[in-house]
Structure 1
């Protein structure tokens, strides 16, 4: 933890052959302030971020970065039905952040060695 900031990092090793999903139960109340994602190759991966009730409610089908260069999204980029662009998305303690990765977009190049980093502000 860095001051009131903390991160969750997820790494998916190897070339993906199927979509991936995950859920994180937050141990404290926190606001999501940024999402960064990339693969180690040039890829067509797409990422959704939301809640267990609306899995693309914060970010919907955004590109992940290529060749180990993360694409970063922050509150100005939130485009899901649950979020307001420009406002950090707030989670209560015990809420679930959900993410889905479409490994190859619309049958494009599969992502490899994907890393997701979610940054939160506690409180």
Structure 2
């Protein structure tokens, strides 16, 4: 493994009743190389990851894992444009969870872990 890797985590407890957005910035250029997402129940949750102005630029309509078994994106082809997304320093990164996948079962105890490499 080369380079410096780091993770960003997000968790919301309980049965969700609305969509959630998790927004942050990284102070240096990086690449998104992994996404792990799960709900504790058999939910219909859908995750998008992007930035201000393009909310689905990196990850589009990822079905989150069910029953505490995480769904994983970790290959270039898992991401939009079949590449690990390169993200410029100070980009406003936005992760959006459609908590019930447009009317399905609401996610409970949602956990998201993003893995990045610096550069």
Residue of structure 2 in register with 1:98 after alignment: 94
Q: Is the CA contact 2:10–2:22 (under 8 Å) kept in the aligned structure 1?
A: no
User: Which residue in 2 is equivalent to 1:56?
Assistant: 56
User: Normalised by the size of structure 2, how large is the TM-score?
Assistant: 0.92
Q: Say which SS state the counterpart of residue 67 (structure 1) adopts.
A: coil
Larger CA deviation: 91-100 vs 29-38? 91-100
Deviation at 1:120, TM superposition (A): 0.2
Per the TM alignment, residue 105 of structure 1 is displaced from its structure 2 partner at its CA by 0.5
Does the 8 A contact of 1:37 with 1:114 survive in 2? yes
Question: 1:106, CA displacement in angstroms?
Answer: 2.3
| Distance in 1 separating the partners of 2:87 and 2:58 | 11
> Is the counterpart of residue 36 in structure 1 residue 36 in structure 2?
yes
Which residue is equivalent to 1:76? 77
The CA deviation at 1:111 is: 0.2
Partner of 2:27: 27
Distance in 2 (CA, whole Å) between partners of 1:108 and 1:95 is 32
Q: Give 5+ residue unaligned stretches, structure 1.
A: none
- Which of 61, 72, 88 is the aligned partner of 2:84? 88
Is 2:21–2:94's contact at 8 Å kept on the other side of the alignment?
yes
Q: Does the residue aligned with 2:94 lie in a helix, a strand or coil? A: strand
Q: Could you say which residue in structure 2 is the equivalent of 1:110? A: 106
| Structure 2 spans left out of the alignment, 5+ residues | none
Count residues in correspondence.
116
Q: TM-score, normalised by structure 1?
A: 0.89
After superposition, give the CA deviation of every residue in 1:56-78 in whole Å (9 maximum; x if it has no partner): 11111110000111001132111
Query: What is the Cα deviation at residue 96 of structure 1?
Result: 1.7
Which consecutive aligned stretches of 4+ in structure 1 deviate over 6 angstroms post-superposition?
none
